[in-house]
Amino acid sequence: MSWSPTALPSQRGTTFVVTGGNAGVGYFTSEQLAGAGARVVLASRSADRAATAMAAIRTRVPDAALEFVELDLTSLASVARAADGIRGLGPIDGLINNAGLVVSPPRRQTTEDGLELLVGGNFFGHFALTAQVFDALTPDGRVIGLGSQSTRMVRLNAGDLQSQKRYQGFRAYAFSKHAVHGFAFELDRRLRAAGSSRLSLLAHPGFAITALAEQRSGITDQSRARRLSEIVLFSLVAQGKDHGAWPTVRAALDPDAVSGTFYGPSFGTLRGLPAPLAPVASSASPAFGSRLWDLAEEATGVRFSL
């Protein structure tokens, strides 16, 4: 493999937006991009947590160029304000739609806009953000979604994407990731049809846990007992969240990346160097993608025309 996550091409003069760039895989994505010389915009809900993340990055990259934009993906009003702020920082070389709710509530909840919480935050918010900052992307800019192997565990029911007929926490999470996948592939199809040189890509981190990552104060803090238990239980099948960022970083920076590619860990899709993977057929279906796009425009009130 010619791609090496430890020898990244220089990104001096580029700007990347990372939603949820203050924690987890998003933090390490931000750190690695900053280490390559990019200006990184951390878009997240908490200014305090973003400040902690930026301080942690600067312990590794003292001259890092970092910005913060407040963003709550469960509020379309917040998304619109964040989009204004991001456009003011443009042009943008990459929008990395990393943020997401992972822990599902035991009962169905909705965002302030009445959307099911998981799909609302993980997909609809990112759809609206992408649509509203799209014109700020450079001609060769990239949009990168954060996918999940949960799409292989839960069959898609496109007619119940917001779990109105039946709610189960992990099912709702998987549906949100089916939507993230469907959007990435549909955006790729529309970009190609429009003759655009922009790229739409997808990445997933594999089985990435905090305990196996390089430690960062304020970012990877855990009790000693929890850290040891994670290491004992998962060290043979998992990787650290720092390595979990590699597929996203490859999608963002690989000069040979082809739009529509899905990157993930090469070793059993759980860990290892990032490589192209095949998505589940339902997520990549053009019929699903087209229907999803229309649904997203209706749900968010944001028109995304290419």
List, for residues 115-157, the tens digit of each pLDDT value.
999 999 999 999 999 999 999 999 999 999 999 999 999 999 9
Consecutive H or E run containing 61: none
Task: Write the class of the CATH domain 15-207+245-298.
Answer: alpha beta
DSSP for 243-296 reads: HHTHHHHHHHH-TT--TT-EEEEEETTTEEEEEEEPPPHHHH-HHHHHHHHHHH
23-45 in b/e form (b: 16+ CB < 10 A) is: bbbbbbbbbbbbbbbbbbbbbbb
Q: Map out the domains of the chain as residue ranges.
A: 15-207+245-298
20 burial type by CB count under 10 A (0-12 exposed, 13-18 middle, 19+ buried): buried
List, for residues 249-272, the tens digit of each pLDDT value.
999 999 999 999 999 999 878 899
Neighbouring C-beta atoms of residue 90, cutoff 10 Å = 16
167 classed as catalytic: no
Rounded to whole angstroms, how far apart are CA atoms 73 and 34? 23
What's the one-letter identity of residue 259? S
What's the average model confidence in pLDDT over 163-183? 97
Identify which has the larger pLDDT, 6 or 87.
87
Q: What is the pLDDT of residue 267?
A: 84
Asked if residues 5 and 249 have their Cβ atoms less than 8 Å apart, the reply is yes
List, for residues 269-296, the tens digit of each pLDDT value.
889 999 999 988 988 999 999 999 999 9
Q: What is the pLDDT of residue 22?
A: 96
Q: Is the pTM of this model over 0.75?
A: yes
Catalytic-role residue among 27, 167, 173, 263: 173
